[in-house]
A and B are shown apart, each in its own frame.
Chain A
Amino acid sequence: MSAPEQVDLLILGAGPAGMAAAIAARGQGVSVLLLDENAGPGGQVHRAIETRAAKDDQDADGARLVLALRTSGADLRFGATLWAIEPGGKVFWSEGGVGPEARGTQARSITARRVLLCAGATERPLPIPGWTLPGVMSVGAAQIALKTAGLVPEARVWIAGQGPLLWLYAKQALAAGGRIAGIVDLSHGVPPDALRHLPRALLAPGYLAKGLAWQYAVKRAGVPILRAESLRAEGEDRLRRIVIDEVAHEADLLLLHDGVVPNTQVTRAIPGCLHDWDAVQACWRPRLDAWGNTTVEGVMVAGDAGGIGGARAAAHAGRLAALEVAHALGRLTRNQRDAEAGRWRLALNRQLAPRRFLDALFPPLPAAAIADDTILCRCEEVTAGRVREAVSLGCLGANQTKAFTRTGMGPCQGRVCGPAVHAVIAAAREVDPAAVDPFRTRFPTKPLTLGELAALAS
């Protein structure tokens, strides 16, 4: 499929933020090109919603958004991976490598008057000894297997770590007929600090009720829940057992989770796009104004990629960003934009009300506890000990450490290990994480072949 040379708005990501933004922008007469590397719309939360039955109100939200997106008139490209954005809004991506009519991956480019990045979130890694063994996966991965292929866990499947998604997945897997050997809770209970955020959280009590219902459903199903301090995975060529506080249990699969962080892989590669350390969510996030504008003219962010807020908050942020685009392109006056935005801003604030409580309730696990011989960078097989050694030699941030150890230099480009490497460096230096550089990412932000690159020139 060929592409036009120019578009008003290019959106990356067809999750709730990207879908809602595309629908709202089309409603204002803005031309939209939407790229997503997955096979269909939905993002992670509404993944494969077109091919499975809606089970709850979240699924129903997703189904409505997908239907409106399909009829919005936006140019939708799936299996399309963005890999560069140049100053002036020239965007590069590759598509067509998969699917029934695949003729090999083709690189494409277009100039967009506005770019809206809705790249969502990735799971914070939980490096434990043996986590590179086949059979150790993330909870998010298991949830994708459930949503897209109807795979449920059976026999000796363990879930370990902390965070709301862990409990949601356990509940969903049990409801779908799966069986779980046990849950290893590595958190330290409810942090006392969390309770002072509770009153504001009660403005949106639905969230809290849901979270409690998930935990209750898991306990009622008779799944053992073990509070533990240490966990390792063992086996020769694949996972065979896990060792919980020095007690071994047979295991076929181990699913790890330690919360989610904004996906800033593309924004960090854009020169001049500033990011700030979010001490509450323990992550970097792009600096945004109330409309989602970054510090680079014409580049915007909406949804979890700008700070974790959940699916509904993401959709509202997407709508606000679309109104700002319509204003910037002269389709709405400032007053029209502000009038349209009012109800979405109210709805967004309501969705964000419980966030500080949730963030305080589920703090990430401490990086200082990661053993020296545990691999942090899975691609280049670099251990926490080697990262600490680089710090002792004078490395102050992630980029210097990368040059010394190759950590973050493999094909995933630091997507997986980034938060862990950053946290280990900060803990080893005994400084505020805000004072430690994250990995600087570079275009192309996803691997592409020389053939794809060369074909652009001809």
Chain B
Amino acid sequence: MFKRTDPPDCTITWDGRELPARNGESLATALLAAGVLHFRETPVSGAARGPLCLMGACFDCLVELDGQPNVQACMTPVRPGLVAAPQRGIRGLPEVEDAA
């Protein structure tokens, strides 16, 4: 796994758990440093996935961030108190408002 060489300075919430993190690092590195590898489940087969590239290309690190689906964890800077969860399959669509 990975080990930190700089100490964490804040906490975030991942899937209901509190994890240590560093303000300004990417959400993906915060999760990796905490030993989290399982970021999402694929829409096709439901297989578990974690980040491949950490540079915004692979879309394998998708998470739900503060309720917003399909966010790339590697492109999301950590701020204290951030709340995220695994992206499980395809995003849900909000109820369509009645136009009438």
Interface residues of A (CB under 8 A from B): 37-39, 44, 51, 79, 98-100, 122-123, 132-138, 140-142, 144-145, 148-155, 157, 176-178, 237-239, 252-253, 378-381, 410-412, 415-416, 447
Contacts and interface: CB of A to CB of B under 8 A. Distances in A.
A12 B75 CA distance: 17
Interface string B18-61: 00001011100110110001110010110111111111111110
B77 A132 contact: no
Contacts of A51: 24
B48 A144 contact: no
B47 A381 contact: yes
11 contacts: A140-B55, A142-B2, A148-B25, A151-B2, A151-B32, A152-B5, A153-B1, A155-B1, A238-B37, A379-B44, A412-B59
Nearest to B45: A381
A100 B79 contact: yes
Residue among A132, A135, A137, A379 with most chain B CB within 10 A: A137
Given A145-B29, A148-B29, A238-B37, A98 B48 contact: no
Nearest to A378: B60
B40 to A, nearest CB: 9
B57 to A, nearest CB: 4
Contacts of A381: 42, 44-45, 47
B17 interface: no
Nearest to A131: B52
Contacts of B70: 411, 447
A250 to B, nearest CB: 12
Contacts of A151: 2-5, 29, 32-33
Contacts of A177: 5
Contacts of A415: 57-58
Contact of B57 (A142, A238, A412): A412
B59 A411 contact: yes
A378 B53 CA distance: 12
